Each structure stands twice: as structure tokens, then as C-alpha cells.
Structure 1
Amino acid sequence: MHKNYRYFLMVAHLGSIKQAAEQLHISQPSLTSAMQKLESDIGVSLFHRRSKGMELTEYGKMLKEHVQQQQEQHNQLLHRLHDMHQREAGKLKLGTGDTWWELFVREAVSQHLKQAPKSSIELEFGNNLSLMHHLVQGEIDLFVGHEIRHLHERCRVQFVPLLQDREAVYVRGDHPLLKRNVQSISEVDASYPLIRVTPDHARHSVVLADHMKSQMGISSDVVRSTYNVDSFSASLDILRSSDAIMPYSSELSAWMMQKGFKTLFIDENKLGNVGIYHKLGCDDEKVLSMIERIRQRV
């Protein structure tokens, strides 16, 4: 970033030539001269000189917004360059859902770190669409999650199947519904809230085929209260302290029981494939090694 732009942002932020000069470790006359030159080059006044300090004009506010955007883009570029360098040196960026981390991804990562103790690893937790978005953007190398139907053709990815699971509905250990023979959510009274763990967000719909985007967020249960929670841990806290019900993978039923929760029922009709997504044609040895480690754990 141009030196005078950096100076300008500091003056705009502090509203004082004196304080900005101290922060920038330059003299006040030098900073004043730099701001005058910047105004001369642009051809407009950037500041109102008040007795209490410097106040941005409308031109100054517009320039501040522009320079801040430039600064953010520059920082993003530096981050991407640093990340690229680390990945060339062996850094692995892995995405996963909380269920798969608890069941087998944790062990695969532990083995990876034991065999390559000096390597770097970055973990990204989230739902399928967000992780797919990160994969397509090149922000992660692979992720473990459910198979996503109707992906957009621009998503050049490959799916390695691992297992199949069903949707279970969990409740706290002393939930009143445990006294009933419930077999589907439609049989549960609408007074019991529904917890949706890490739900999909519209901003990640770019990975879906166009005809699927309009269906995101549509729910047939418009009466029941819904808690959309982006944290698995927070979802469990809510489940433990309320009468809510929580649909989640049946593969986690034993783990949930250890934590004091009960399986209300398992929906045999909601069957999903779980596997590993990676870029199509991937030949990165560290990615292929991690895929094999995960497959062995499953």
C-alpha cells in the first residue's frame, strides 16, 4: 500500500495529526506535508481542520472506504501466498463434520501427526455445503461429510464412499417423549422445539445446481419452534437443558448415550452416504495418504 495512504488511514482513525505522527514514528510536519500532498494529488479536501482535530470530509470518507478495501485485499493476498507456501511445504487442510471427527477423523489426524510431526495441519468444521464451498474455492484439500445431491457442474470433485447412516432423533435422558412409542417427527407435538445443527446457509448455495437453490430453507413444519445452531457443542447444551428434539446421525447414538442423551427413534427412510470429497484428479500425496488413513479407521 502507498505510504501516504497508510498515513491517511492513521490520521482518519485517530482524528489527530499529533497522535497519528506518534503512532507512525514520524514528525508532525512530515505527516502534515504528506496529507497536503495527498489532497493536492487527488484534487479535493480530505479533512476539515477543527480546533479539536481532523474530521473527514465526504471525499475523505469515500477515500477511507476505498483504502480500507485495498488494505483488506492486500492482507488477503498475503494470507493466500503464505498459505500456498505452507501447503507446498506439507500443510494439510482438512474439513469434517463433528460426528465424523468424534468417530474416526480424530484418530486419522493423530496418526498423521505422529508420522509427520513437523507437518502443519488446519482443521475446518462445518456442514456439507460450507465445506464443499471451501473445497471448490481451494481453501481446503478434502473433507468428510454426507454425499451432496445435485451439485453444480462447476464443482469438479470426487466422492469416496465410506459408510451409510440414518437420521436419528435425540432427546435428553429424562425427556417426556421417551414414554411414548414415537416413530417420526410428524408424531411429535409441535410444542417440542427442533434443533437444527449447523444448518445450510444461502451463501453456500453456489455449489448446488440452479434448480435446487430455490428449495433451500423450505420446511414443511412451520408451526414448530426451530433453533438453528452453528455449533455442535452448543446444540448439546440446548438439548440437555430443554424439551427440544435434535435430528442427527444415527452413527453417533452410542456416543450420545455416553453423554447422557437418548435416541427417541431412528428414521429408516432417511438414509445417507458418508464419504470423503476431494478435487477431481487430485494427485497430492499428503491428501491421498489422509484419505487412506480415514478409510482404515472406518
Structure 2
Amino acid sequence: MYIPITLLTKLTEMVFSSAPTTFPNHTLITLNDGGFIPSPAFGVGSALYQKNATEDVVLALKNGYRHIDNAAIYGNEESVGEALKIAKVPREELYITTKYDGGDVRTEFELSLKKLGVDYVDLYLIHFPKFADAGGGIKTVWREFERLREEGLAKSIGVSNYGVIELTELLLLAKIKPAVNQIRYHAYNAKENAPLLALAGLNDIVIEAYSSLSPITKFPGGPADPIGERIADRISTVSGGIKVTVAQTILDWLKTKNIVAVTTSGKDFRQKEQLQVFQESFPPLTEEEIKEYEEAGPGWDQQ
């Protein structure tokens, strides 16, 4: 089921606007709790899993990233905290996300704060549904999340890797709706995730996407490749001859759909290239390009 971008925008009723001076390299998306979330986020999972992330995060902050996406299970919250100390970016100019991975919610949350060296986080997510089950069940865990939100310790709360069934269950019991659902999302699984995006849109839940560059990093040679190349050529032309990469078109696809991009790179030029997409002047994809890209090869990553 393909959802036209015009319908998706109408369903979500989200404000997608250029960022204020505190987030000059990002685009902001309004959350259902009245807050906002900057895109892109610099993720310290995947390539930095269980590794020291200090050097990469310091470089990202130097290049203008202000949203850092972390999780307890990544095993590098302390090194991220060290990067924050080194970079000395004012706390109010940072957006810090981390994730709950089981155990007593309050205990685990306070441990994350200590490791990160901050007094609050901007977004706290349940990393996987199974971690809520291990923490006493979704009702128990979410009530604790709501308390953290009410106390201002977590400015926004949400989930990660929740499907339609799990998200529906949560919505039925939540006093405070999740503001975000972070999922694995790319061209080859976009079509199967359309019902999940529709449910999120109806409840003003922002989608965050990780592994979105998979068509070129993990599954090269697929049917999305030539489409991405054509889009890159088109945007390069309308941008005055600036050479646009296929990776940038993928991030632009997320931006056009009001989806927060979670991406990472330890390379200076890649970080700058990725941030360039989120400037107001970077042209969006057309509705036709979005449809063509998402219908290129559903399930190709399972070939």
C-alpha cells in the first residue's frame, strides 16, 4: 500500500520547518507532545556498537550535528558523554536520545543520565518490545516512562522497533502517546511498513528511520540503484550543477516524507554531505519519485 506524500502529510498534520538558530544544520519536525525533534540524528549504534564513540561524536558535533542517538545496549554511553564534555556545546543546543533496554526503568534511566553526563534527555525510547516484557510488561514500563515525562527528566518518550500490533497495544493503554517510533526503514521494506506509517500518522507519531542507506551499503545492485541515480541527476541539475550523491537522495526521501534520519559516518566529508540534505535549499523529491523508489523492489533485501 503506497501512501501519497500529500495524504501522509494531511494525516500526520506535522509541521516540517527549517530549524531555529540552535539547530542550523537540521530540519525540525513537531512532535505530538508539543516539542520537536531535529533531523538528522547521528547514531552511535551499528558501526560503533560496543566501541568507543568519542572521536566520531566529537567530529560530528564539530561538523554541526546536534542530535545524538544512543542506547544503553550500545555500550558506549560513557564515551558519548566524554565527547559532549570535549565538544562543550551548550546543553540547550543539543538533542540527546537514548533507549531503555530492560530492568527497572528508573534505575536504568538514571544510569544512562550518569553515563551521558546530563540532567535530562530529550527523547527516551523503549528499544524493543521484548525489553518492555522483561521490565514487567508494557503497561508497567510505560507508566514509568510517563512519570519521567511528567517530571521533565525525559522531554519526550517513545518506542523503537514497534510494529502495528505492539504499537496498537500501547496506544490502547497510554495516557501519554508515544511521540516517536524508530524503525529499520529503507526502499526495500517501505511498502511492507506502509500500514505502520499510516497508524503512526493517524496518531501524530513521528517515524525515525535507521539503516535507510541499506540499498547502497548492504544490498547494492538492486532495482532502487538506477532510480536513485536518476533522482541524483535531476536534483544536481536543479541545484545549479552541485553534484548530488545517491546517498543524499535517500536522506532527501526521508526528509520529504517527514521522517527523521538516523545515520552515521566517521568520515568528515560524509558527515558534511549528509547534513547538506537538511538545509532548506536542498530540493525535495517529487511524489512520483517517492512512489517509484518505494515500489522498485519490495523484499529485495531478502533475496
Normalised-by-shorter TM-score class: under 0.3
More strand by share: 1
Q: Which has the larger radius of gyration?
A: 1
